């Protein structure tokens, strides 16, 4: 396992909080002492326990096997965590009529690498999407991807940051792109996330183990049609086109079906 420099960690963690990327320490496994990806400390996601300044960085978790995660909700960052890159490419092509590599290879893309065959993109969350929650996609027991942000109860989720050590590879996570300039969510991703309840059933039909409901509509729901159309219309997005159908509580209440 690659050894880490506590002073280098301190500098990097201090840079994170200075740029509004708030942190949670992730202790090593109690049984093996090896690094892990998820915090186990009770109340780690409570406001008073979130690390928002250099003064809160504890020397104890600069030690060898401690990792660090980004507190997504308070940092206003959503993580698009792709566990199966090829299946996600197929989903974007077949269901959304969009090339996933346009997101992965965008000039302003900010990614975290940790394990071959996977990918992770980070985006800033605009005010009109701040209410959205974490969504997961699995084919059977196989995780395909996760849109990670917050629970339905409004508690933050987290994601591991460099220079944390990947528990499987024993190597550090690495940045691709400028993490100090994380872009806002692109239109196709925003529309997918905002209309997840309508798009997910169509995606699940790509799963050979999926059992569809007894009756299904003859055409895809209007939301899915609009996601596809918006992917190729840079000046129009679902959340803008529905403004007239919303009430004062926001476009979340927009009509989905004709």
For the stretch 52-66, pLDDT in tens is: 998 888 876 776 678
Note the pLDDT of residue 217: 59
3-state secondary structure 183-241: CECCHHHHHHHHCHHHHHHHHHCCCCCCCCCCCCCCCCCHHHHHHHHHCCCCCCCHHHH
Residue spans per domain, the chain: 6-240
Note the pLDDT of residue 65: 73
Note the pLDDT of residue 230: 64
Note the pLDDT of residue 251: 29
Note the pLDDT of residue 176: 97
pLDDT less than 50: residues of the chain: 235-258
How many CB atoms are located within 10 Å of the residue 127 CB? 8
């Amino acid at each position: 396992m690659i050894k880490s420099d506590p002073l280098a960690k301190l500098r990097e963690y201090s840079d994170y909080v200075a740029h509004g990327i708030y942190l949670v320490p992730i202790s090593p496994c109690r049984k093996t002492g090896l690094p892990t990806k998820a915090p186990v400390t009770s109340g780690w996601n409570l406001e008073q326990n979130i690390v928002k300044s250099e003064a809160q960085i504890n020397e104890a978790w600069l030690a060898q096997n401690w990792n660090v995660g980004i507190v997504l909700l308070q940092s206003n960052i959503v993580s698009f965590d792709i566990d199966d890159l090829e299946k996600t490419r197929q989903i974007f092509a077949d269901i959304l009529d969009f090339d996933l590599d346009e997101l992965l290879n965008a000039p302003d893309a900010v990614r975290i690498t940790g394990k071959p065959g996977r990918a992770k993109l980070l985006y800033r969350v605009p005010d009109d999407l701040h209410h959205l929650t974490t969504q997961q996609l699995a084919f059977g027991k196989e995780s395909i991807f996760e849109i990670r942000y917050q629970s339905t109860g409004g508690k933050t989720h987290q994601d591991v940051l460099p220079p944390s050590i990947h528990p499987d590879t024993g190597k550090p996570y690495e940045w691709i792109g400028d993490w100090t300039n994380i872009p806002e969510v692109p239109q196709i991703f925003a529309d997918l996330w905002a209309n997840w309840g309508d798009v997910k059933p169509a995606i699940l039909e790509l799963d050979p183990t999926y059992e569809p409901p007894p009756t299904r509509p003859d055409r895809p729901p209007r939301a899915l049609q609009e996601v596809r159309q918006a992917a190729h219309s840079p000046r129009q997005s679902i959340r803008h086109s529905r403004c007239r159908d919303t009430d004062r509580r926001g476009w979340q209440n927009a009509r989905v079906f004709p």
